[in-house]
Amino acid sequence: MDVDDPSPRAGGGGADPPRIRRLEESVVNRIAAGEVIQRPSSAVKELVENSLDAGASTVSVTVKDGGLKLIQVSDDGHGIRFDDLPILCERHTTSKLSTYEDLQTIKSMGFRGEALASMTYVGHVTVTTITEGQLHGYRVSYKDGVMENEPKPCAAVKGTQIMVENLFYNMVARRKTLQNSNDDYPKIVDFISRFAVHHINVTFSCRKHGANRADVHSASTSSRLDAIRNVYGASVVRDLMEIEVSDENAGDAVFKMDGYISNANYVAKKITMILFINDRLVDCTSLKRAIEYVYSATLPQASKPFIYMSINLPSEHVDVNIHPTKKEVSLLNQERIIEIIKNIIEEKLRSSNTTRIFQTQAGNPSALIQANTQKEKGTDIKMASGMKSQKTPVNQMVRTDPRNPSGRLHTYWHGQSSNLEKKTDLVSVRNVVRSRRNPKDACDLSSRHELITEVDSHCHPGLLEVVKNCTYVGLADEVFALIQHNTRLYLVNVVNVSKELMYQQALCRFGNFNAIQLSEPAPLQELLLMALKDDELMGDENDEEKKEIAEVNSEILKENAKMINEYFSIHVDKDGNLTRLPVVLDQYTPDMDRLPEFVLTMGNDVTWDDEKECFRTVAAAIGNFYALHPPILPNPSGSGIQLYKKNRDSMASGEHVDNTDEDDIDQELLAEAETAWSQREWTIQHVLFPSMRLFLKPPKSMATDGTFVQVCSCVSKLMGI
Ligand code: ADP
Ligand code: MG
């Protein structure tokens, strides 16, 4: 590469741009190989898949030093032809694919001919193989894609044995991180266990080099449950339910799913999700999330399920080529498939859930409490990494500028002052609170259960049917959304339904919430003062009274901190700061502008001296806070833009301004408002309605109070067809 660059240098006096050079082929190959074989367990997965592709009925794996020293995979498959040995480990040599179009119908697990080649660039590979009808086999070693010597005849048993030694010997950094990090052996065992559950007619074994006992040993069987029992134990199998769904009539969405899922009695620290799509062991993050979501909302106590699922669909519907190790796949009609699977799981769980509650209450209620507490500890960790944390301190996110027409809390703050008046005898309130010391007894659970039963018994079957099977059409205005059910169109009050949904979810997730961590503790007293100051009905004068109310309310919350934390994941620290809020719907955080109102409602409207009323009122306060109210910033579309003029005096004096001068608009506030409104719209469509379909039990009152209004019985008439 020493040819001079004929083009003139740019810039003259500055430093020369770095010369582009062609990398040496062996370096390119090593880089590529490191992507395909990321760690010892990925090599094992590739080798085992090759054995399965070769039709093996026995696959044995031996591993030394977590796979860094040695990986050996032996099978009794069809073996490799003598003539193919010279090119076996070259890149892009495969017996499974010849044209690009073959990719569409590929059934085997391998197809790129990259795995073996890659292993020879980052380790020493030795192959021993014999094909049917041969008297002896051959052994040959490979390095950097080529044979190191001519194949040597040797004694061999049916099939192929591939040995990979000193993996990553030439990738110092990779080797170091793998040596420092946890041994890869558990991952390898995990892979083999999964294969054993799916390929029930293959015998798998996996052991450490030199060990007498295998860590996985599966025997070929005809029953899936036997296979699961073999690998994961009888206690897992006891808590499994069979599921099955197919969708063969639905035009291009042909698919079939079958598997086993855990019931309410299965309690684990981690989800186990074994997913095979067209017999390939894969990950499908969105499906996994959807399932986790259904569990945590339906069976919070058993929200880390065991799932084995096998999905089959026409191979042309699966794009296997989106990930270098074929680990993630993407599916045609993925959303629809996930929706169907979600529904069937939910149905199954709902029936099992009822049984569970009765069983536990009759039996040992403290066991359930224990399970709850354990679960809560686990979730903290998960949330720390999994949740989008609030970046801005919460007290800065709350709109407090009284000049800002949008910032006034009073606009949605009706009738609070009469509640305040009720609390004249502050001392008695305190005493009641103090008398309520021990929230942790079994009746908590039964009062919560009573509330859930109330929800069930108030449910309107007709509306339930509408909600479950409706299609979201769009937003009609700031409060109403348009939905379609069969040939009928309905206007749905988004605020009302979301409030109810959040209330019901707060009861369902009771004691098992994930947490939203506030980036900075928010002092309760300040929040309360903010709420009181914005409450116009309180007037401007009573500053002292407001202070006192704020103080008392924050005391009440502090005294009940333990209980609201344990059951609702509302965490108040010992200094009276709010630090955590519950996740009521996954992927949804409430509008922090409404936090002061929420805290005041908690202080004012919660009944602390009666278990059931206490849970009801806390859940209602959460429902109100998390509901999808219109954002506090006014909608800037249409004439709403006037509200974002910097000079508001002209508005106040009632002058009518027609032209909105660009410069006169508070662009920052406008952008914020636009984001808030479009985000809300997105959330309504993608979070609220899908969750409503799954979880909402609409109360009978919603049929008559204007929450659901039928607008037209004939869609075609509306559309002018
Ligand atoms: P791919 O599996 O994508 O074809 P690999 O690099 O994994 O690519 O394997 C290359 C080829 O080597 C395969 O196509 C197959 O013909 C052959 N092969 C690899 N492992 C085995 C095995 N255990 N038994 C028989 N043939 C094998
Ligand atoms: Mg392969």
- pLDDT for residue 713: 52
164 close to 71: Cβ distance less than 8 angstroms:
yes
Residue found under tokens 């300040």: 526
Residue 160 Cβ < 6 Å to ligand 1 = yes
Q: Give the pLDDT band of residue 409 (cuts 50, 70, 90).
A: very low
Q: Which two tokens stand for residue 266?
A: 């299965």
Q: Give the pLDDT band of residue 396 (cuts 50, 70, 90).
A: very low
Please report, rounded to a whole number, the percentage of residues in the chain having pLDDT higher than 70.
72
Residue from 84, 102, 116 to probe ligand 1 pocket by mutation (most atoms less than 8 Å from CB): 116
Report CA(325)–ligand 1 centroid distance (Å).
15
Q: Does pLDDT of 319 surpass 70?
A: no
Q: Does pLDDT of 412 surpass 90?
A: no
Residue 50 Cβ < 6 Å to ligand 1 = yes
Q: For the purposes of burial, counting CB atoms within 10 Å of the CB of 487, is it exposed (0-12), middle (13-18) or buried (19 or more)? A: exposed
- pLDDT for residue 449: 85
Please give the distance of CA 525 from its chain centroid, rounded to a whole number: 35
The contacts of residue 316 (CB under 8 Å, 6+ apart) are 104, 105, 332
Report CA(193)–ligand 2 centroid distance (Å).
19
Taking the CA of 111 as reference, the closest ligand is: 1
Q: What's the number of CA atoms in the CB half-sphere (13 Å) around residue 511?
A: 19
- pLDDT for residue 40: 93
What mean pLDDT comes out for the span 14-26? 71
Q: Does pLDDT of 440 surpass 70?
A: no
Residue 116 Cβ < 6 Å to ligand 1 = yes
Report CA(162)–ligand 2 centroid distance (Å).
12
Q: Which tens digits make up the pLDDT trace of 339-388? A: 889 999 998 988 775 443 333 333 333 332 233 333 333 333 233 233 33
Report CA(49)–ligand 1 centroid distance (Å).
9
Q: Does pLDDT of 48 surpass 70?
A: yes
Torsion sign over Cα 446, 447, 449, 454: positive
Report CA(171)–ligand 1 centroid distance (Å).
24
Report CA(104)–ligand 2 centroid distance (Å).
17
Residues 185 and 353: their CA atoms lie apart, in Å, by: 37
Residue 348 Cβ < 6 Å to ligand 1 = no
Q: Which two tokens stand for residue 11?
A: 């810039």
What mean pLDDT comes out for the span 251-256? 70
More confident site: 672 or 436: 672
The percent helix, strand, coil of the chain (3-state, each to 5) is 50, 15, 35
The contacts of residue 150 (CB under 8 Å, 6+ apart) are 140
Residue 168 Cβ < 6 Å to ligand 1 = no
Q: Which two tokens stand for residue 55?
A: 């039709």
Q: Give the pLDDT band of residue 433 (cuts 50, 70, 90).
A: very low
Report CA(107)–ligand 1 centroid distance (Å).
14
Q: Give the pLDDT band of residue 110 (cuts 50, 70, 90).
A: low
Residues 114 and 48: their CA atoms lie apart, in Å, by: 14
Q: For the purposes of burial, counting CB atoms within 10 Å of the CB of 25, is it exposed (0-12), middle (13-18) or buried (19 or more)? A: exposed
> How many other C-beta atoms lie within 10 A of the C-beta of residue 667?
11
What mean pLDDT comes out for the span 178-206? 91
Mean pLDDT across the chain, nearest whole number? 78
Helix (H) or strand (E) holding 484: strand 480-485
Torsion, CA 242, CA 267, CA 568, CA 393, rounded to 10: -100
Q: Does pLDDT of 685 surpass 90?
A: no
Report CA(684)–ligand 2 centroid distance (Å).
44
Q: Does pLDDT of 418 surpass 50?
A: no
Residue 145 Cβ < 6 Å to ligand 1 = no
Global pTM value: 0.52
Residue identifier of the C-alpha nearest atom 9 of ligand 1:
113
Q: Does pLDDT of 718 surpass 50?
A: no
Residue 326 Cβ < 6 Å to ligand 1 = no
Three state DSSP letters for 157-188: CCEEEEEEECCCCCCHHHHHHHHHCCCCHHHH
What mean pLDDT comes out for the span 104-112? 55
Q: Which atom of ligand 1 is found nearest the CA of 113?
A: 8
What mean pLDDT comes out for the span 506-515? 86
Helix (H) or strand (E) holding 602: helix 595-605
Residue 115 Cβ < 6 Å to ligand 1 = yes
Report CA(314)–ligand 1 centroid distance (Å).
24
Q: Give the pLDDT band of residue 636 (cuts 50, 70, 90).
A: confident
Distances from the Cα of 130 to the Cα of 52, 77, 82, 254, 627, angstroms:
16, 9, 8, 41, 67
Beta bridge partners, 245, equal 257
Q: Does pLDDT of 173 surpass 50?
A: yes
Distances from the Cα of 287 to the Cα of 454, 561, 695, angstroms:
32, 36, 18
- pLDDT for residue 285: 80
Residues 376 and 582: their CA atoms lie apart, in Å, by: 11
Residue type present at position 618 = V
Residue identifier of the C-alpha nearest atom 2 of ligand 1:
110
- pLDDT for residue 627: 96
Residues 716 and 719: their CA atoms lie apart, in Å, by: 5
Q: Does pLDDT of 716 surpass 80?
A: no
- pLDDT for residue 693: 87
Residue from 36, 49, 53, 96 to probe ligand 1 pocket by mutation (most atoms less than 8 Å from CB): 53
What mean pLDDT comes out for the span 238-267? 85
Residue identifier of the C-alpha nearest atom 14 of ligand 1:
94
Q: Does pLDDT of 678 surpass 90?
A: no
Residue 85 Cβ < 6 Å to ligand 1 = no
Residue identifier of the C-alpha nearest atom 21 of ligand 1:
50
- pLDDT for residue 690: 85
Q: Which two tokens stand for residue 581?
A: 């809020």
Residue 80 Cβ < 6 Å to ligand 1 = yes
What mean pLDDT comes out for the span 423-441? 37
What mean pLDDT comes out for the span 687-702? 90
Report CA(52)–ligand 2 centroid distance (Å).
9
More confident site: 353 or 1: 353
More confident site: 32 or 436: 32
Instruction: List the helix and strand counts (H, then E) for the chain.
Output: 25, 23
Smallest CA-to-CA distance from 16 within 26, 8, 6, 24 is with 8
- pLDDT for residue 442: 33
Q: Which tens digits make up the pLDDT trace of 586-633? A: 778 898 889 999 999 999 899 998 889 999 999 999 999 999 999 888
- pLDDT for residue 408: 29
Q: Does pLDDT of 320 surpass 70?
A: no
Q: Does pLDDT of 150 surpass 60?
A: yes
CATH code for the domain defined by 233-351: 3.30.230.10
- pLDDT for residue 98: 55
- pLDDT for residue 75: 97
Q: What secondary structure does DSSP assign to 497-565, as a single string?
A: HHHHHHHHHHHHSTT---EEEEEEEEEHHHHHHHHHHT-GGGTTT-HHHHHHHHHHHHHHHHHTHHHHH
Q: Does pLDDT of 236 surpass 50?
A: yes
Determine whether domain 25-216 maps to CATH 3.40.50.720: no
Report CA(280)–ligand 2 centroid distance (Å).
12
Residue 325 Cβ < 6 Å to ligand 1 = no
Domain boundaries, the chain: 25-216, 233-351, 516-620
Q: Which tens digits make up the pLDDT trace of 536-574? A: 666 666 788 888 889 999 999 999 999 999 899 999 998
Residue identifier of the C-alpha nearest atom 25 of ligand 1:
79
Long-range Cβ contacts of 238-247 (<8 Å, 24+ apart): 238/265, 239/263, 239/265, 239/266, 239/306, 240/266, 240/306, 241/348, 241/352, 243/309, 243/344, 243/345, 243/348, 245/340, 245/341, 245/344, 247/337, 247/340
The contacts of residue 594 (CB under 8 Å, 6+ apart) are 625, 629, 632
Residue 111 Cβ < 6 Å to ligand 1 = yes
Q: Does pLDDT of 295 surpass 50?
A: yes
Residues 363 and 369: their CA atoms lie apart, in Å, by: 13
Residues 108 and 89: their CA atoms lie apart, in Å, by: 18
Report CA(51)–ligand 1 centroid distance (Å).
8
Residues 417 and 535: their CA atoms lie apart, in Å, by: 8
- pLDDT for residue 537: 63
Q: Does pLDDT of 201 surpass 60?
A: yes
Taking the CA of 92 as reference, the closest ligand is: 1
More confident site: 292 or 423: 292
Q: Which atom of ligand 1 is found nearest the CA of 94?
A: 14
Report CA(193)–ligand 1 centroid distance (Å).
22
More confident site: 716 or 504: 504
Report CA(119)–ligand 2 centroid distance (Å).
11
Q: Which tens digits make up the pLDDT trace of 466-492? A: 998 888 888 888 899 999 888 888 999
Residue from 59, 94, 108 to probe ligand 1 pocket by mutation (most atoms less than 8 Å from CB): 94
Residue 96 Cβ < 6 Å to ligand 1 = yes
Residue 112 Cβ < 6 Å to ligand 1 = yes
More confident site: 57 or 36: 57
Q: Give the pLDDT band of residue 215 (cuts 50, 70, 90).
A: very high
What mean pLDDT comes out for the span 445-449? 81
